Structure 1
Amino acid sequence: MSDVVVVMGVSSVGKTTVAKGLSALMGWEFAEGDAFHPQANIDKMHAGTPLTDDDRWPWLRLIRDWMAEAIDEGRSAVVTCSALKVSYRDVLREAGSQVRFLHLVAPEVLVGDRMAHREGHFMPTSLLHSQFDTLEALTAKELEHGSTVVSVEGTPPQVLERCMNALGLSAPADIEEGHRA
């Protein structure tokens, strides 16, 4: 059975780093949620304008469809997506019962520092506070169905290990050996 993990959280919290790490350790397909944004959304964020729900619905549906295809084909996958609101996660969950969320968390000051030192991304630091304001924590029901919250404080290997443990994952022996080689 396939497994799909949505690595979620505010911009610059480390979603891509963690998702790529999970992909490598588990041998799963990886997708960058930002790659699903239409150009109009990218232009809006680049200009410092927060996205509205109307901007996000088509983007979320594209990610949902990508996940549903992976599930239909029996492929496990990991995808990044801010998934800041329960209603956004509801759309993503339409892909199938295999979808679970890994919510990466950190204090706003730490994320702001990371964001300020990140190059080549369309999300300006000025929009970070709006993401924290919009963020809705995972619900008790989401947590009961395999979703989890992990702090990103520490080194990337420490965070990845915490994520693997929180998700109850262990790398397949052939992947783990290849990853260490």
Structure 2
Amino acid sequence: MILILMGVSGSGKTTVGQLLAKKLGCGFSDADVFHSKSNIEKMHNGIPLTDDDRWPWLASIRAAIEDYRQRGVTHVFTCSALKEIYREKLAYPGEGDIHFVLLNGTADLLQQRLAQRKGHFFDPHLLQSQIDILEMPDHAIVVDIAPPPEEIADEVLRQLNPAG
């Protein structure tokens, strides 16, 4: 099983993803490590990424997903995956062992979180551009980010396995 935690910056993808990986006893990969240096520099300077910037990044994540799938290893990834076309680059239709989880919250809460975050390359002024391009997924677990991260992780697991 592959989990892809998605959402805008500040939604808690890394924190919740690490908790889920621990609970599942599996590995964790943050999408940020797949970015090129030029992408990181752009975001640090407040320049939104273009689709042309994103394609190689998404291809790198997809290659890692395929590696874990071929080995039959459960793994948790994070990736903003804001548009349906980006999600299609990560998981082809019908790949039932790949599950998207949207961490969703209000713009006010996201702004508060970004204001408190230290040492991350993402310029908080780019948040609105991410909110503007977010396409709500049709086939994803959607979880509110207001509760504590532990509760969010537990809710994701509950929705993955509603029978318990």
Map residues 112-127 of structure 1 onto 2, 5 A cutoff. Answer: 112-127=111-126
Tell me, yes or no, if the aligned pair for 2:7 and 2:81 is still in contact at 8 Å: yes
Larger Rg: 1
Tell me, yes or no, if the aligned pair for 1:65 and 1:95 is still in contact at 8 Å: no
1:148 has 2:141 as partner: yes
What's the offset of the Cα at 1:53? Answer: 0.4
Q: Which runs of 4+ in 1 moved over 2 A?
A: none
Structure 2 unaligned residues grouped into runs of 5+: none
Match of 2:155 among 144, 158, 162: 162
Q: Secondary structure at the match of 1:60?
A: helix
Structure 1 unaligned residues grouped into runs of 5+: 172-181
Separation of aligned partners in 1, 2:126 and 2:109: 15
Task: Give the % identical residues.
Answer: 40
Instruction: Summarize deviations over 1:83-112 as a string: whole Å, max 9, x none.
Output: 000000000004981211000000011011
Tell me, yes or no, if the aligned pair for 1:102 and 1:150 is still in contact at 8 Å: yes
Instruction: Summarize deviations over 1:12-64 as a string: whole Å, max 9, x none.
Output: 10000111011000011110110000000000000000000000000000000
* Residue identity opposite 1:152 in structure 2: I
Q: Secondary structure at the match of 2:4?
A: strand
1:73 has 2:66 as partner: no
> 1:49 aligns to what?
47
Separation of aligned partners in 1, 2:162 and 2:85: 27
Note closer, same or farther for the CA distance 1:102–1:22 as it changes in structure 2 (3 Å cut): same
* Residue identity opposite 2:20 in structure 1: L
Over the residues paired in the alignment, what is the CA RMSD in angstroms? 1.7
Tell me, yes or no, if the aligned pair for 1:116 and 1:125 is still in contact at 8 Å: yes
Separation of aligned partners in 2, 1:71 and 1:57: 21
Q: Secondary structure at the match of 1:82?
A: coil
* Residue identity opposite 1:133 in structure 2: D
> 1:174 aligns to what?
none
Q: What TM-score do the two structures reach when normalised by structure 2?
A: 0.95
